[in-house]
Structure 1
Amino acid sequence: MSATPVTVDGAWRLSGSVALRPEPFGALAYDFSTRRLSFLKTPTLVDVVRRLGDSPTVGIALTDAQVADDERPAYIAALAGLASGGLIEEQTP
């Protein structure tokens, strides 16, 4: 899927073919194109993913979701996994 690395300065969004279903642990993400089901394991990660499309950068989405500075590398890694699976995509201007 995406060869572009996820960085705090990048702009990403939930892929158009993906739907999120809230769950107590976070959410289920279903890609209607690939029929792949994935788990977002924390409510905060779900919050970040939902904010991506309305945020000019990943960093702003993380700030708006109140992700602490020391937790940001883990969230960037989680977003990179979502990007490699095609669940999030880079926004184009």
Structure 2
Amino acid sequence: MPPEAWDHPAFEPDGPYALSPNVALRPEPFGALAYHFGNRRLSFLKTPLLVTVVQGLHKHRSARAALSAHGVARHEERGYLSALASLARADMIVRA
């Protein structure tokens, strides 16, 4: 396991998440830019629907429930969960 993985618990789609309070989102035509003021990382949220999901994560019992509530189709769920896992590894979203 690489050292950077030791600092981040595994992403759990059935767990609760929220946008980190250290992150600002800047809307863009493609979705949004996410900037973390603590670790100075920049991430791209590549679809407007992903932005909506990330902004609403805190309202749902799990990341998977947030996807469902925001209308992510079952055949697209894997891609969205992968994007959320990447955001969790970058500390853009955190366990709630």
Aligned residues: 90
Regions of 4+ moved over 4 Å: none
Equivalent residue in structure 2 for 1:70, among 64, 69, 75: 75
1:4 corresponds to 2:10: yes
Matched AA of 1:41:
K
Shift of 1:35: 1.6
Q: How far apart are the structure 1 equivalents of 2:12 and 2:84?
A: 7
Identity of aligned residues (%): 49
1:87 corresponds to 2:92: yes
Relative to the length of structure 2, the TM-score reads 0.87
Name the structure 2 match of 1:28: 33
Q: CA RMSD in A?
A: 1.1
Shift of 1:56: 1.4
Structure 2 unaligned residues grouped into runs of 5+ = 1-6
Structure 1 unaligned residues grouped into runs of 5+ = none
User: Alignment partner of 1:48: what SS?
Assistant: helix
Name the structure 1 match of 2:21: 16
Higher helix share: 2
Shift of 1:71: 0.6
1:53 corresponds to 2:58: yes
